[in-house]
Structure 1
């Protein structure tokens, strides 16, 4: 085969190795992004730069800081980040020649054929070897680029893990505080039911009330006791959960300072800014870039590889003569290797790399859509919970007035005991509902801050 035939064969090989189109050129390709969020008409979202500034609670801030130092999941995420850093450095190694050294010792003796002694002979060898793949097709540099994208993805994963852990701590703190307030309310309600029981018992002794009324009052007292024990258990479990998140032993001894006041709202910004701010979106995009770049790596594997190999060394009969031995050897070899027949392995690897990039492309799009949904849900809940809180406060005012009036009517004999007990239960359930909606509103504010990528 002459030179022209080799040239023609090379052209055919290279033209048949066409790389698939890139999938990571555009961050927002085929992702519908509105000009503004659907629920930003109300409420007016105006302030706050980070998660912790939402609530001016020093105890909550201490818990968050402790979790960012001790949380095991966060430590695991940092270890993955460090691993990605080492992988990136390892990937860069083939860009430069590698150098190895070898040392050998041998001892030999020739056969004595003529009945005279031949002393044994020692041999010492020291060689240095170097090998370098010339990155003509940028396969190695593409691998380095992919590894760099994975390192950036790990950084973004760690940033998102920090935000998530802080948000979980704050959510758990709100839950614990709400349970403590409900527990206190239940104690107060139990006292109220006991007072009613005492009142009914006095009327029963005087003959002004029936045994059925007394049993109704006792039922509410015992139910209040049962609920107190249930709430106490829920409170202790919430405290243990918070302890675990801070990286401590799961005991129930924790302090809170009550539900913190809500600060100003969070600026929602434009939907497109989420693509820049949210670490989880950036991590997904960086993985898309890495998968896309690895298509190039798999594609370049179809091309010939070119290597330079060199070796040099010395040989001597004595170890101390290696440094000044006159017997020196060296060689330099340049060569190439090209795949001819490998039963479709390389092209299948290219196809698999293409599909992995395609999967990363759709995963990225789904994460973007999920992020927009989270923001829209949190913004919608901000408005709904605010209105719900105002309505519940009005209902509580009415329930308290009704309870006081019903108690006076019962003492005057104008209503039955069931009416009084129902009035007390309604006031209690409405007050408990107000605590719960306040907790939900603060938890939603945390979710909104997390969805909008507010840093810790």
Structure 2
């Protein structure tokens, strides 16, 4: 019985797919041991009832409505994050291209061939024109993936997709932390600027008083010059902070990727409760570090390198490809699909590497070195993450004490200023003691603003270092799942 089109190709495709991808020569993946200590070498105490950073979405961590709105704007307008998302889409498209190699490409074709023979070559002695019409359905150069070469390449492409997605999540987490840090810095700049304006006003009042006393012969010219110096120092600080505030505002808008409206900027004292104040529990390094997107990205890159080893090993074995077609041919178009016009062709091809001047060995060596590089990069990511958390925990432990001491310093400096002014009015001390007390109070107040900013930035840094939102990122794009071979 003549094989028919409906029987030949489906049977061929079924057998081909059953034989393809039956094995893989890629090494089994084993996660490298974390080259870090089992604890943070720093106080890791936190609220035992608090959510872990990985379970805490950034919308829960950021409590200020203005700052949340700025972050939302940055997540839609920031160009770095946009590029990271486009990289994910590009990797997904590349994976689709590579995965298509695991399935045969079936194409249909139809054509006409017309040929004129001169009288001298014609059997009838007259010029003749012959025509042939064909319609075929076929498979071209489909590789039977007996040793898993094509599947290993597909697995490598999939791991690159997953690594790129983790890179996008890492970029998003970094962006959230950077925007929060920039916004908090602007808030601190505004507070310091307001404090400097108040200090300048107080020093100008003091200068006017000194001028009256000097005119009355009660105060010396030295006191007058000291008061003038204090005023000019305050004016210099005011100009510096004004310029710094403008620069930090511009930096924040560049980070967001769009101009900010008046409602977006922080108001007085808004930075005090801009983020979650409950201390985040640090947990153990083995539990925390593996949840960070950058560490997961490094692991997926390692798995991609391992899959490339499988493809390089498969290159040493024979490669079988199939080309087949079935259809119909007829000298007349209206008889193309009549009985007796069927045709088919089957062309298997075997390719066995014999001599390639060491190319396959060099490619395998390259893949193995790439795997070793990926292991080192994974271990480096673990070590870098460990240091970030350890540094943040050590800073958190000291900032609490520093903040308490700075508040006491401000209180004592304010008392010293009141006493110096009282002694000056009583004629016990000269004006210099009062000016020194003013400078001390001003420096202490500026230091307190800096410590409060450092405490806020430390909370943001720890949230990022502990893999903030790694398990609660509802915005993560769904990545393709690895299919069994």
Q: From the superposition, tell whether residues 388 and 247 of structure 1 become closer, same or farther in structure 2 (CA, over 3 Å).
A: same
Equivalent residue number for residue 38 of structure 1: 41
Q: From the superposition, tell whether residues 296 and 210 of structure 1 become closer, same or farther in structure 2 (CA, over 3 Å).
A: same
Give 1:240 deviation, angstroms. 2.0
In the alignment, is residue 101 of structure 1 matched against residue 104 of structure 2?
A: no
1:407 to 414, 421, 427: 421
What's the CA shift string for 1:290-321, capped at 9, x where partnerless?
10121111111111111222122333445454
1: CA distance, partners of 2:392 / 2:321 = 58
The alignment's TM-score, normalised by the length of structure 1, stands at 0.89
Equivalent residue number for residue 344 of structure 1: 358
Is the contact made by 1:55 and 1:260 (CA closer than 8 Å) also made in structure 2? no
Equivalent residue number for residue 387 of structure 1: 401
Q: From the superposition, tell whether residues 282 and 304 of structure 1 become closer, same or farther in structure 2 (CA, over 3 Å).
A: same
- 3-state SS of paired residue (1:109): strand
Is the contact made by 1:312 and 1:329 (CA closer than 8 Å) also made in structure 2? yes
Equivalent residue number for residue 269 of structure 1: 283
Equivalent residue number for residue 453 of structure 1: 467
Aligned residues: 436
Q: From the superposition, tell whether residues 64 and 251 of structure 1 become closer, same or farther in structure 2 (CA, over 3 Å).
A: closer
Is the contact made by 2:119 and 2:128 (CA closer than 8 Å) also made in structure 1? no
Equivalent residue number for residue 423 of structure 1: 437
Equivalent residue number for residue 13 of structure 1: none
Q: From the superposition, tell whether residues 81 and 373 of structure 1 become closer, same or farther in structure 2 (CA, over 3 Å).
A: same
What's the CA shift string for 1:81-131, capped at 9, x where partnerless?
112222222222122211123444443322234997525444433333303
Equivalent residue number for residue 332 of structure 1: 346
1: CA distance, partners of 2:48 / 2:196 = 35
1:359 to 373, 389, 398: 373
In the alignment, is residue 69 of structure 1 matched against residue 83 of structure 2?
A: no
Equivalent residue number for residue 411 of structure 2: 397
More displaced 10-residue stretch of structure 1: 191-200 or 136-145: 136-145
Equivalent residue number for residue 259 of structure 1: 271
Is the contact made by 1:33 and 1:272 (CA closer than 8 Å) also made in structure 2? no
Equivalent residue number for residue 9 of structure 1: none
2:133 to 102, 119, 124: 124
Over the residues paired in the alignment, what is the CA RMSD in angstroms? 2.5
Q: Which runs of 5+ in 2 are unaligned?
A: 1-23, 474-485
Equivalent residue number for residue 208 of structure 1: 218
Is the contact made by 1:27 and 1:285 (CA closer than 8 Å) also made in structure 2? no
Q: From the superposition, tell whether residues 143 and 19 of structure 1 become closer, same or farther in structure 2 (CA, over 3 Å).
A: closer
2: CA distance, partners of 1:61 / 1:21 = 45
2: CA distance, partners of 1:42 / 1:120 = 94
Equivalent residue number for residue 25 of structure 1: 30
Give 1:169 deviation, angstroms. 1.1
Give 1:447 deviation, angstroms. 0.5
Give 1:254 deviation, angstroms. 4.5
2: CA distance, partners of 1:244 / 1:253 = 17
Give 1:44 deviation, angstroms. 5.9
Is the contact made by 1:51 and 1:450 (CA closer than 8 Å) also made in structure 2? no
2: CA distance, partners of 1:419 / 1:84 = 69
2: CA distance, partners of 1:82 / 1:355 = 28
The alignment's TM-score, normalised by the length of structure 2, stands at 0.84
What's the CA shift string for 1:44-63, capped at 9, x where partnerless?
67524344434421111111
Is the contact made by 1:43 and 1:382 (CA closer than 8 Å) also made in structure 2? no
Q: How does 1:47-66 map to 2 (within 5 A)?
A: 47-48=50-51, 49-66=56-73
1: CA distance, partners of 2:463 / 2:77 = 23
Q: From the superposition, tell whether residues 319 and 192 of structure 1 become closer, same or farther in structure 2 (CA, over 3 Å).
A: farther
2: CA distance, partners of 1:43 / 1:108 = 88
More displaced 10-residue stretch of structure 1: 175-184 or 67-76: 67-76
Equivalent residue number for residue 94 of structure 2: 87
In the alignment, is residue 176 of structure 1 matched against residue 186 of structure 2?
A: yes
Give 1:216 deviation, angstroms. 2.1
Give 1:160 deviation, angstroms. 1.6
Is the contact made by 1:46 and 1:266 (CA closer than 8 Å) also made in structure 2? no
